[in-house]
Amino acid sequence: MSDSPLATAHAFVAAINAADLAALRTLMTDGHTFTDARGQSFSGAEPMILAWQSFFHAFPEYWIHIDHSLVDGRLVALFGQAGGKWRLGDRILPGVWKVAAAWLAEVESGKIHRWCLFCDTAWATPPPEA
């Protein structure tokens, strides 16, 4: 595992950017909890892998770019942007979305125990079809 909470958080972001489910699972504790931007929490590494798989399908080319990081012990705050595309049925829409975002990671023994997202959620709704 990574040797610092910051390195672990950045490895988690890299796994997300690569849509690498195996790497994400390796970086999650068994009791991993994800809290979305609407404040809903989901727990368990295995259910979260299925959720990430669905998310990557719904929002192709999803990416995270980190501009700034702050570390307080095993807590890591990340600030930057996220973006991607939308999928409607079998079609990937040509437009892209981008949103300012922040993440809070709680690292436990070199793995992400808690991953919280903070951002506006208007991006989740695809634009009206032309």
Query: DSSP states of 48-91 as a string?
Result: HHHHHHHHHHHSTT-EEEEEEEEEETTEEEEEEEEEE--EETTE
Task: Name every residue whose Cβ is closer than 8 Å to that of residue 77 and which is 6 or more positions away in sequence.
Answer: 69, 70, 71, 102, 103, 104, 105
Q: Give domain 5-123's CATH architecture.
A: Roll (3.10)
The pLDDT of residue 130 is 38
Q: Show me where the domains of the chain are located.
A: 5-123
Give CA–CA dist 10/85, Å, rounded: 22
> Each residue's pLDDT tens digit in the chain (130 positions)?
447 999 999 999 999 999 999 999 999 999 999 999 999 999 999 999 999 999 999 999 999 999 999 999 999 999 999 999 999 999 999 989 999 999 999 999 999 999 999 999 888 788 876 3
The pLDDT of residue 129 is 67
Q: pTM here?
A: 0.93
